[in-house]
Amino acid sequence: MQLVQGQREELLQALCCGGSAEGLESVIDLLLAWDLLVWEDYQDLCAPFQTLSSRARGLLDLACIKGESACALLLAACSRIFPESQKVVLSFGGCKPPLEVEVPHPATATQALRCHRPHLVRSLRDGITTALKALLDSGNFTIYDCDEVQLLLYTPSQQARCLLDRVQSKGESAAAILLQHIQKSKDNLTTPENEEHPAECLLYKKKLQSSLSAQSHFLSTYGGMENLSLDDIYTEGLLEVAQGSGEAQQPLGLEDILGHVGTLNEEADTVLVSGEAGSGKSTLMQRLLQLWAQGAALQEYLFLFSFSCRRLSAEEREISLRDLLFTHCCWPDRDQDMLFQYMLDHPHKVLFTFDGVDEFRLGFSDERKLCCPTQLAPISVLLFNLLQGSLMKGVRKVATSRPVAVTPALKRYLRKEVSLKGFSTEGIDCFVRKHHSDPAVAKRVLGSLQSNTALFGLCHTPVFCWIVSQCSRELLGCGRSPQTITDIYLMILQHFFQRRSSRWPSPDLGWLKGNAGTVMHLGRLALDGLWLSCFVFSGVELQRCGVTEEDICTGFLIHTKEHSSPESKHYEFLHVTMQCFFAALFIVLNNDIGRSTIQNLFYPQYRQDSVLARVCLGRCLSAGSQKGGPDEGAERPNLEITATFVSGLLSQRHRKLLLQTFPAPTLDIKCMQVIKALSKGMRKHFRSIPQPIQGEKKSMHAMPEFVWLIKCIYEMQESAFAKDALASLEVEHLKLTYCNIGPVECTALAYVLQHLKTSVGLQLDYNSVGDVGVEQLLPCLEICHSIYLRNNNISDEGIHKLIDKGIQCENLQKIALFNNKLTDACTKYFAELLKKKPHFLSLRLGNNYITAVGAEQLAVGLKSNRSLKYLGLWGNKVRDRGAEALAQALQDSPSLVWLSLVDNGISSAGACALAELIKSSKSLEELWLTKNCITREGVEYLLQALEKNTSMKSIWLRGNELSPEEVEEVTQRDSRVVF
């Protein structure tokens, strides 16, 4: 008990590591299996709406209440679950788990579920669907039980735990069926060979693990962050099944990247982790390598080979697959032939990772197939054939890339795609606290972030969160808090320069002027590299751009050991966004930049030259590229980031800073060039809007480039220009679906869209808005007559803010929020909205987690509303009680036209209440009751109601509990009943 109490803070940090619940829940699984926790204890610890930290504190408190032996078991469970890196800072007092002889053999199936819970969670994680089918077929589960288990906000491991909990509550029969199913699944598996691995393979694995462990120990991104241990600083980002992948979004854990969830093509081998620049892809990949090297994950793979595509693209000679593995990764001390043959014979034992496919500048094509593992080939041919499976079929590959950089040629060969969305709100809190050892400083930084919603939105991107954490002194000491991405990068520029020099100890304006030479040297290097998609620079290239040793010591360039040799050192920028920022500084501050450069930056004219020409002639083109713009090697995503920085640097906010080193007239000319380019881009989009078909609204479906233009306008922070840019936009509906819109983009959209002349319907479905993004959108809510936010990971907290503002917005008439994380807690806000907005027309809350309690709260607002026409609550769980409350509240509605209660667990009792609504309603035309539990008795109530309501057009009843004969008979009686 003394160990638990004395290490309470350390245990809490370990249990909440990375903001993920997996560690805590795994510890709880063990304690359930060891009978330390009774079922009531478990339910208290897993009560809904508790934060992760509250659950962890509850577990520690419970162990101390239960006494010395309970604390010993808790420490034993933690010792088993925590990775080695976390165990180093904790003392477990030699506490051991109970011996197998001490644990009684389970007498019943339900007891077996508890005794073997940790093993069962692992077994079920990739087989939830088949397990649910077995329970459904046996009659122990209903379709509604299945829905509860497969909630989209659960990770696969959490779905497995939820399944075990529900089976436990169903009793012995359900437990026996589940155990039989799991055993049958094991028996049916085509298990790989069980023979012992050759000793040479185990020796080589040990060497690989040792090498990767050393490489991954310190955080490699952002220059290593002063040699911080990855274990100490790593914070999990939000991982989801990719939009458009055919499955609804759901959160994933690291272990699910290579799992079955989200699989689109069973025959493919490559898993793609996509994310925007700075979202944490490289850090996530490093974490995977570390976990494998520590033996904590991915142990089904005997060998793991890791590659950086940025470094592979520097390989100029033709090589074979064997060279790639042994020369670029880890050289075997002996038996190379045997090891390589073993890999060819056992591809399922091998895992490849490729970080930064978007940075592989040689390009991919299907022109040359390569199937022979010993044949020499250019690195681009070798890599593409590995990814598509022509080479080493059966070897699983994990690749990372920015979304827009993945070509259709590569997408065809993906097994699945998962999206990395950056930090959650809890992740920001976790990262900042890990970055600052002083809790008081961490608390002040978090307080500063939470008081500045624009900055807090930016921090959902890990690279921005790192900058803010790194520059805490500047953040807390400056008078004006950063608002834009450019503000943040100027802050780190100031931080790095002042850290290296004592001449500018105070945050005055002299720091840029005093370091103008370094800025120009690094800027020239960055821009030259940008034009050619070059991210690693030799000493010769540094010398050509005037980069000195003093410039290198500022910290913006880091030494890359993989490319370097004793004769020649190579360098790269801290992050690709840092290279883009210095390139932007050079464009803004250099007198010799040609007039066409800014135009080419915003709208590059790509030449359709061959890949061979780009490789052979790239260096020859570099001398002239500075003046004219990008050649065909420049990557569009990097140009857009650079253009965004150029827009921000030319803002009036930073004019005083730049005037120290640059004359005002030239800055004004460049500013006008940027404004002209942005205006041209906006007009181009507006001209592309088709004329509406008669009777339809005029709408514009914006492309991702439109969002980028909006971000550039926001960076300039010029309200007059924002207003002018939107002056000619006259649409009734603005569609921005699948545009990777997160909190950062929401801030920019709200800043610009609030200047629209007429109200608009804003559709942001299938993005990553989240609660913070909702808060960023509030300034433009006044101009919206409708807002659609399907599939955006929004919770009750975001709804509270949305409704508080929406009540004040006279134009707002429609809200759609299906496929989010809304519970009963949000319905009281919607009830208030319905009470206070006399002209509100449509509320759609489908596929959330609203029960009868929420429906009853919503009914309170519906009773007072006289304008609502459309109410959608499909895919919730309002049941009969909720249906009765809604039906009673809507009986006097003079306006309701359409009501959907599809898939809500409604039986004949609910149908009876809805029949009364049909009888009394003068406006209702459509009632959707598909996929419920209504029997022939309930349908009879509805048929009798239809006899008294001739204005009703249709009642949809497909998927209820009627036989084919009953369906035929009901259809004959009234054609308005639709099956």
> What is the reported pLDDT for 890?
95
Strand 784-788 with 350-355, pairing: unpaired
pLDDT over threshold 80, residue 768? yes
pLDDT band at 190 (very low <50, low <70, confident <90, very high): very low
Q: Which residue has the higher pLDDT, 254 or 840?
A: 840
Instruction: Give the model confidence (pLDDT) of 689-717 as tens digits.
Output: 777 666 666 778 887 788 999 999 999 99
> What is the reported pLDDT for 185?
75
3-state secondary structure of 216: helix
One-character DSSP codes across 706-771: HHHHHHHHHHHT-HHHHHHHTTT---SEEE-TTS---HHHHHHHHHHHTT-SS-EEEE--SS--HH
Instruction: Give the model confidence (pLDDT) of 142-163 as tens digits.
Output: 877 887 887 766 777 888 888 8
> What is the reported pLDDT for 364?
64
Instruction: Give the model confidence (pLDDT) of 629-675 as tens digits.
Output: 554 556 788 899 999 999 999 999 888 888 877 777 788 889 999 99
Instruction: Give the model confidence (pLDDT) of 292-347 as tens digits.
Output: 888 888 888 999 999 888 888 877 888 888 888 888 788 887 788 888 888 888 88
Residues of the chain with CATH 3.80.10.10: 688-818, 822-979
- What average pLDDT does range 165-175 have in this prediction? 87
- What average pLDDT does range 599-603 have in this prediction? 84
User: What's the predicted TM-score (pTM) here?
Assistant: 0.76
One-character DSSP codes across 883-900: HHHHHHHHTT-SS--EEE
Residues of the chain with CATH 3.40.50.300: 207-420
Find out whether 602 and 643 touch, Cβ atoms under 8 Å. Answer: yes
Reduced DSSP (H G I as helix, E B as strand, rest coil) percent helix, strand, coil of the chain, to 5? 55, 10, 35
Residues 6+ apart with CB under 8 A from 329: 208, 211, 305, 306, 307
Residue 911 tokens read as 């149908």
pLDDT over threshold 70, residue 606? no
Distance CA 515, CA 519 (A): 6
> What is the reported pLDDT for 923?
94
pLDDT band at 507 (very low <50, low <70, confident <90, very high): very low
> What is the reported pLDDT for 214?
84
**Domain spanning 822-979: CATH 3.80.10.10:** yes
> What is the reported pLDDT for 610?
34
> What is the reported pLDDT for 615?
37
- What average pLDDT does range 894-910 have in this prediction? 95
- What average pLDDT does range 277-303 have in this prediction? 88
335: left (phi over 0), alpha (psi -120 to 50) or beta: left
pLDDT over threshold 70, residue 540? yes
Helices 22-33 and 52-66 cross at an angle (nearest 10°) of: 30
**Domain spanning 207-420: CATH 3.30.950.10:** no
> What is the reported pLDDT for 613?
33
3-state secondary structure of 966: helix
- Sign of the dihedral defined by the CA atoms of residues 580, 582, 585, 587, in that order: negative
> What is the reported pLDDT for 627?
43
Q: Specify the DSSP element, H or E, that contains 273.
A: strand 270-274
Find out whether 900 and 928 touch, Cβ atoms under 8 Å. Answer: yes
- What average pLDDT does range 95-100 have in this prediction? 73
- What average pLDDT does range 817-841 have in this prediction? 93
Q: How far is CA 499 from CA 515, 578, 644, 958, in A?
A: 12, 18, 27, 69
> What is the reported pLDDT for 479?
58
pLDDT band at 626 (very low <50, low <70, confident <90, very high): very low
Find out whether 380 and 364 touch, Cβ atoms under 8 Å. Answer: yes
Residue 437 tokens read as 């050892």
Distance CA 453, CA 534 (A): 35
Distance CA 293, CA 179 (A): 33
Q: What is the mean pLDDT of the chain?
A: 84
pLDDT band at 925 (very low <50, low <70, confident <90, very high): very high
Instruction: Give the model confidence (pLDDT) of 455-489 as tens digits.
Output: 888 888 888 888 888 887 777 766 567 889 999 99
The CATH homologous superfamily for domain 688-818 is Ribonuclease Inhibitor (3.80.10.10)
Residue 282 tokens read as 């490289």
